[in-house]
Structure 1
Amino acid sequence: MAPNRTVAVFGPGSARPAGNRSQLVRDPDGTQVNPFTPVTPAAIARFAPVTG
């Protein structure tokens, strides 16, 4: 049987000043990770793929 490997979540997600929404988590190995997603139009434009 595989060991129980969980992810710890630290508090609620937060809206950051740059227009991103983020959530701090700690992976099963103990590494702190800060995944984020852009939510404002300006932040989304910064992460838009470059075409051409």
Structure 2
Amino acid sequence: MEILGRERRRLWSTAERLEIVAAVGVNGETLARVARRYDVSRSQIYRSTRTARIS
């Protein structure tokens, strides 16, 4: 089977996840804008935020 387009599954390091979460709210950045910039869904950022709080 041939897959067209780029692969969507990526593995983010803990440092990368923290960078994305930290970008929300800086200089008025919204969660939606940060999600678009990093090409991730908003739910992934919410999940990373919850995980960061627990750890």
TM-score bracket for this pair, using the shorter chain length: under 0.3
TM-score, normalization by structure 2: 0.25
Larger Rg, first or second structure (1 or 2):
1
TM-score, normalization by structure 1: 0.26
Larger proportion of strand:
1
Larger proportion of helix:
2
